[in-house]
Structure 1
Amino acid sequence: MAADTATAPMSRISDIITSFRPTKLFKAPPATAYTSVDFDDSGEFMLLSRTDDTIQLFNTKAGAHAKELKSQKYGSALARFTHHSTSIIYASTKVDDGIRYLSMHDNSFIRYFRGHTGRVTGLAVSPGGDQFLSASLDNTVKLWDCRSPNAQGQLEAESPYLVAYDPSASVIAVASPPAQTVLLYDLKNYDKPPFASFDLLDTEKRFAADFGQRPGEGWTGLEFSNNGKYILITTNGPGHYLIDAFSGDLVHYLHRPSGATGRLAPGDSLPEPTAAYMQADACMTPDGRYVVSGNGSQTGLLVWDAQEKGGSGRGDNKMVLEPMAELPSTKAAGVVAFNPRFNLVASAEREVVMWIPDLDLA
């Protein structure tokens, strides 16, 4: 892999999206795996949860590992930057179902957020302030403010395992894989019924026979595109769902030919105490046009162009979209994220891989 990891400011992604190549590899101790990845607002730092009850911090500009934070007593999952790059939140995996607010500067806890009585399956930080959402197996979604230990509000829903803010921070989405629904709430009136409910039952049934997609199972992530047009529902199966953020209609079924990943989703039962689920292995690019995803049961990454027309799948289903490119690597991608400020992609499972465009290929 190349030694140079200098991150260039964001250029037009369409010019370089197929040229990303691995440039840095960071190995991890045996029998560990990374379960989440996040970038800070500046794009300079990257945060990953790992199954050995640690959180790993990387400097993307330097292309270097920066710090290891241990959470041996409480475990760690879904580590997220707040809008202060030295402060993070993350979910506990042991002792309790709390959320911890940590200062990385001196590795001290700022605050604890208690109230969930089941495993936390989703964390989303508001793009507009110090608020964040948490979803849990206790059938609640809680609204928090980093400045208070008490929940600011609560939603009750069937298996609300995944949550997301829209880019304006005025709408929140709650996804229930067992109910096969995505609910949209006005954040200012979250105590009222959702203003939109998207039922994906028929959509999922459409792809069960042709591709073996399991309806209502294996949803791993929920994300709005930065332009507000799409909602991406990622799965650990043979495809992801890209839906219209306003109508809930399916835009594309993003088929990955290599099939399912075999990784656990947030709502899955964990077979043993040390087992861990992965956050989404797919993400949208900052321009809202492309989806970058792990390559299912194989290594490397896949790329889909949301502006392409579908129809290349079996059964002449016009909603099926095949990958436009495969980005080669010898490493699996259990979690994937696109840097919000620089042309850099991060993927991880057993090892962390940083990807940048190869300008000779662009």
Structure 2
Amino acid sequence: MANKEPPTQKVSDVISAFRPTRRFKPDDPKAHVTSLDFDDSGELAIVARTDDTLQIYNCKEGKHAKELKSQKYGVHLARFTHHAQSILYASTKVDDTIRYLSTHDNSYIRYYRGHVAPVTSIALCPSNDTFLSCSLDHTVRIWSLSSPNHTGVLKLHAPYLASYDPSASVIAIASPPTQSILLYDLRNFDKPPFQTFDLQPYESRLNPSGLTARRRGESNWTKIEFSNDGKHMLIGTAGDGHYVLDAFDGDLKHYCVRHNESFASSRRAPGSSSSAPVGQGDVCFSPDGRYLVGGSGTDGTMLVWDIETESSDDKVLAACAQLPALGRHEIVGYNPRTNMLCSADRDVVMWLPDPELVS
């Protein structure tokens, strides 16, 4: 499957024309994909599955490239480093170590020990070989790929999700139970946050499923992500919709709703006691920062929201496009280098724009 769409073609020209072009089924029909990531070049994609395997796909050729097994330790949150033949992933069995693996020969390069509860987020620095990890042990740790010891640690209440901004000068840490997002200057990581965004006013008005989860002492936040232009921040949820915030002042720009309250992700958010499979969020920004693309939930369609739409008084934004149904899309990613989407639940699906539908 050669990608016939030139990488420079505007996302707005193709966003409503995406259609499924390749579908990869797991050998184990009960296995679920729990995470998805692309390498820096956009040529490779990697997914972690509940059958304790890693699957690597060649996006340029539309082929399955390699399977790696982690039967003893399990695998979640697989992330390419800036070196395409090495990855990080979190253990799900035995211990809570983060493992640094060479995909070339399936050998471990290094172990990062310190967390004493499951890791809930791994974020690679966009500019160098450092990364962040969050855990149910109420810590956020900063690591360098070159050392087994963390270089910084924050002890916070339920810091389950974290992300670097595109400049790699700011990190955002989401604490779902407190409905807050803490922003830190990376140069002063050990100082208090320079800004805190409070989502409580928006949650109480816009997110009924979030309130239901909170009454159980849980949360349904699944993802935090900056847009590539640094202007917006996404808080993905497993519930009725997703929050798009102004990345500078935390004001709500849009609440991007699924079709209705019955359409939601079936994946377990960090900190939830649900027995559902874990995930990393079913929504993402497009590389130009203009669109969100995400699963609708039970009806199996993919939804697109144009966040450059002028905000309504109630901040609720409906999808501007609906892509065809093809099973559930519980994990969604947009290739960073070309107009290609990947989505997954049990199967992994590659999407390309249909040339006949491109505007």
TM interval, short-chain normalised: over 0.9
What 5-or-longer segments of structure 1 have no aligned partner?
312-316
Q: Distance in 2 between matches of 1:320 and 1:238?
A: 11
TM-score by length of 1: 0.94
- Structure 1 residues 106 and 188: alpha-carbon distance in aligned structure 2, compared to 1, 3 A threshold: same
Q: Using the TM superposition, name which of 332-341 and 250-259 deviates more.
A: 250-259
1:268 equivalent in alignment to 2:264: no
1:247 equivalent in alignment to 2:249: yes
- Structure 1 residues 209 and 64: alpha-carbon distance in aligned structure 2, compared to 1, 3 A threshold: closer
Q: Distance in 2 between matches of 1:31 and 1:228?
A: 38
- Structure 1 residues 178 and 287: alpha-carbon distance in aligned structure 2, compared to 1, 3 A threshold: same
Aligned equivalent of 1:277 = 278
CA-CA distance at 1:269 after TM superposition? 2.3
Q: Distance in 2 between matches of 1:101 and 1:207?
A: 40
Aligned equivalent of 2:350 = 354
1:8 equivalent in alignment to 2:6: yes
Amino acid at match of 2:325: S
Aligned equivalent of 2:320 = 324
TM-score by length of 2: 0.95
Q: SS in structure 2 opposite 1:265?
A: coil
Aligned equivalent of 1:232 = 234
Aligned equivalent of 1:171 = 170
Contact 2:204 2:211 in 1 (8 A): no
Q: Distance in 2 between matches of 1:231 and 1:65?
A: 32
Moved >4 Å (runs of 4+): 3-7, 209-216
Q: 1:57-136 alignment to 2 at 5 Å? A: 57-136=56-135
Contact 1:49 1:79 in 2 (8 A): yes
Q: Distance in 2 between matches of 1:181 and 1:210?
A: 17
Q: Distance in 1 between matches of 2:318 and 2:311?
A: 7
What 5-or-longer segments of structure 2 have no aligned partner?
none
Q: Distance in 2 between matches of 1:280 and 1:157?
A: 22
1:339 equivalent in alignment to 2:335: yes
1:299 equivalent in alignment to 2:300: yes
Contact 1:103 1:109 in 2 (8 A): yes
Contact 2:342 2:348 in 1 (8 A): yes
Q: SS in structure 2 opposite 1:340?
A: coil
- Structure 1 residues 145 and 210: alpha-carbon distance in aligned structure 2, compared to 1, 3 A threshold: closer
> How many aligned residue pairs are there?
352
Aligned equivalent of 2:290 = 289
CA-CA distance at 1:210 after TM superposition? 9.9
- Structure 1 residues 7 and 207: alpha-carbon distance in aligned structure 2, compared to 1, 3 A threshold: same
Q: 1:185-204 alignment to 2 at 5 Å? A: 185-204=184-203
Q: Distance in 2 between matches of 1:81 and 1:325?
A: 30
Q: How high is the sequence identity, in percent, across the aligned residues?
A: 54
Aligned equivalent of 1:157 = 156
- Structure 1 residues 202 and 111: alpha-carbon distance in aligned structure 2, compared to 1, 3 A threshold: same
Q: 1:10-89 alignment to 2 at 5 Å? A: 10-28=8-26, 29-89=28-88
CA-CA distance at 1:268 after TM superposition? 1.4
Q: SS in structure 2 opposite 1:205?
A: helix
Amino acid at match of 1:9: P
Amino acid at match of 1:16: V
Q: Distance in 2 between matches of 1:62 and 1:7?
A: 13
Amino acid at match of 2:34: T
Contact 2:43 2:60 in 1 (8 A): yes
- Structure 1 residues 210 and 56: alpha-carbon distance in aligned structure 2, compared to 1, 3 A threshold: closer
Contact 1:6 1:62 in 2 (8 A): no
CA-CA distance at 1:214 after TM superposition? 4.9
User: What CA deviation, in whole Å up to 9, does each residue of 1:174-207 have, x standing for no partner?
Assistant: 0010010000000010000000100111110011
Q: Distance in 1 between matches of 2:150 and 2:274?
A: 27
Q: Distance in 2 between matches of 1:230 and 1:277?
A: 26
Q: SS in structure 1 opposite 2:178?
A: coil
CA-CA distance at 1:261 after TM superposition? 1.8
Q: Distance in 2 between matches of 1:126 and 1:7?
A: 29
CA-CA distance at 1:329 after TM superposition? 2.6
Contact 1:204 1:214 in 2 (8 A): no
Q: Distance in 1 between matches of 2:212 and 2:287?
A: 27
User: What CA deviation, in whole Å up to 9, does each residue of 1:112-162 have, x standing for no partner?
Assistant: 000001100000000001000000000000000000000010011100000
Q: Distance in 2 between matches of 1:71 and 1:208?
A: 37
- Structure 1 residues 154 and 209: alpha-carbon distance in aligned structure 2, compared to 1, 3 A threshold: closer
- Structure 1 residues 129 and 358: alpha-carbon distance in aligned structure 2, compared to 1, 3 A threshold: same
Q: Distance in 1 between matches of 2:213 and 2:8?
A: 37
Q: SS in structure 2 opposite 1:14?
A: helix
